[in-house]
Amino acid sequence: MGSFPNGNKVYREISDFALGVFEGVRGSRASLTLDANNLISANDTTSRYHGGVYYYGRYSSSCLYVNFKEAIISWEANTPPGTWIAVDARVQVKGNWSKWYNMGTWLEHNLPFSRHSTNNQGDSIGNVNTDTLIIVDIATAIEVQVSLFTLDPAVSPSVRSVGITFSQELDKAGLVPRIGLVSNLSVPKRSQMLFHSEGGKRWCSPSCISMVMAYWADVMGKNSIDNPIPRIVQGVWDFAYGGSGNWAFNTAYAASFGLHAKVVRLSSLVELEYWTAAGVPVIVSIAFRRGQLKNAPLLFSSGHLVVIRGFDKNGDVLTNDPAAPSDDTVSITYDRIQFENAWLNKSNGTVYLIYPTGWKIPKSNGKW
């Protein structure tokens, strides 16, 4: 991977594993898997994983040159029982390389241990806030390392892609005129508040995943990917963070069912007009203070996710907001400028893009 023009937000994806450094793994243009003949064995003496013997291999990407302050890494992988993956990154700042920061240890089944992010990684160069690598100064390059683990040398996890979204400063709302693409996708309605007694008040992200996967289940005629909210909560729970809101874990869950799923950061709602017009509902992260988002079922929020299912003729935002008190009240229309402010000012335009293989998506503008 070489250099590319620097901008406020860019996205790059490693999906061709024919290039890079391979230790105990095999790469192809389709996936990354363990090389059973060259596995490395180790004993987990620090109990980072399961506290016993395991086998692993490691892929290291070539250097990607980009100026950024924050990076979010997401991945598409399958981890059969007894296998897991870990994703790490290091950055170059003022010509010097940082240590390796762990961006997540992922497994679908929570066996032989529980999936988790890694706390307390901060140093003079940067820190990882659950799912986001935050650099003190401007980083000018990054390298990514993907480690594959197994308890049984005959069973391997597989990684189809690793994506990185880079950002610098916040974008401002209202700067890009709407293009007038009208859409209203039939996304099933599901309220997180039906599970209030079980902790559902904090389940906005898996609730959105549930709605979007149910949408694709209908479109594809594939009921197996339509899962209820509590099941998805179990499948995305980050045991270090203590919650279901880890962005990378949520997209990894959707990807484990064969969907394309990634975290990206965008700059305006115009970009999302193209996605919903292409038949793809988009999950977005918003935050707002009291009185800043009319019609919201929450008075305020420091972090909340909703599904954008389209835009009306006025350019206002058609959403499924899981914070609504019941399924039949989930569909909420938001003022375009108010919503764009709520989206850009805190999460810096963070979204989940989830869609099936072969689906015709908008032409890339370098941000997806």
Q: How is residue 141 written in tokens?
A: 């390059």
CA distance 212 to 64: 32
Each residue's pLDDT, cut to its tens digit, for the chain (368 residues) gives: 333 333 489 999 998 898 899 999 999 888 999 999 999 999 999 889 999 999 999 999 999 999 999 999 999 999 999 999 999 999 999 999 999 999 999 999 988 999 999 999 999 999 999 999 999 999 999 999 999 999 999 999 999 999 999 999 999 999 999 999 999 999 999 999 999 999 999 999 999 999 999 999 999 999 999 999 999 999 999 999 999 999 999 999 999 999 999 999 999 999 999 999 999 999 999 999 999 999 999 999 999 999 999 999 999 999 999 999 999 999 999 999 999 999 999 999 999 999 999 999 999 999 99
Domain at 9-167, CATH class: mainly beta
CA distance 125 to 138: 10
Residue range(s) of every CATH 3.90.70.10 domain in the chain = 183-356
CA distance 84 to 152: 11
Q: How is residue 246 written in tokens?
A: 């880890």
Helices (H) and strands (E) in the chain, counts: 5, 20
Q: What residue type is 297 in one-letter code? A: P
CA distance 342 to 89: 29
Is the separation of the CB atoms in 261 and 252 below 8 Å? yes
3 state SS of 289: coil
CA distance 54 to 213: 33
pTM over 0.75: yes
Q: Count how many residues are written for the chain.
A: 368
Residue range(s) of every CATH 2.60.120 domain in the chain = 9-167
3 state SS of 205: helix
CB environment 240-267: b (16+ within 10 A), e (fewer): bbebbbbbbbbbbbbbbbbbbbbbbbbb
Q: What residue type is 168 in one-letter code? A: Q
CA distance 68 to 135: 8
Which sign does the torsion angle of CA 163, 350, 347, 130 carry?
Answer: negative
Per-residue pLDDT, 2 = 39
CA distance 316 to 334: 6
Is the separation of the CB atoms in 55 and 149 below 8 Å? yes
Q: Where are the alpha helices (DSSP H) in the chain?
A: 204-220, 229-236, 247-255, 269-277, 336-344
3 state SS of 56: strand
Beta-bridged to residue 317, according to DSSP, are 311, 334
Considering only CA atoms, which of 59, 241, 17, 214 is closest in space to residue 149?
A: 59
Q: How far is CA 47 from the centre of its chain?
A: 27
CA distance 234 to 244: 8
Superfamily of domain 183-356 in the CATH hierarchy: Cysteine proteinases (3.90.70.10)
Burial tier of 182 (Cβ tally within 10 Å: 0-12, 13-18, 19+): middle
Which sign does the torsion angle of CA 196, 198, 201, 206 carry?
Answer: negative
Per-residue pLDDT, 19 = 86
CB environment 312-349: b (16+ within 10 A), e (fewer): eeebbbbbbbbbbeebeebbbbbbbebbbbbbbbbbbb
CA distance 347 to 302: 10
Neighbours of 89 (CB within 10 A): 23
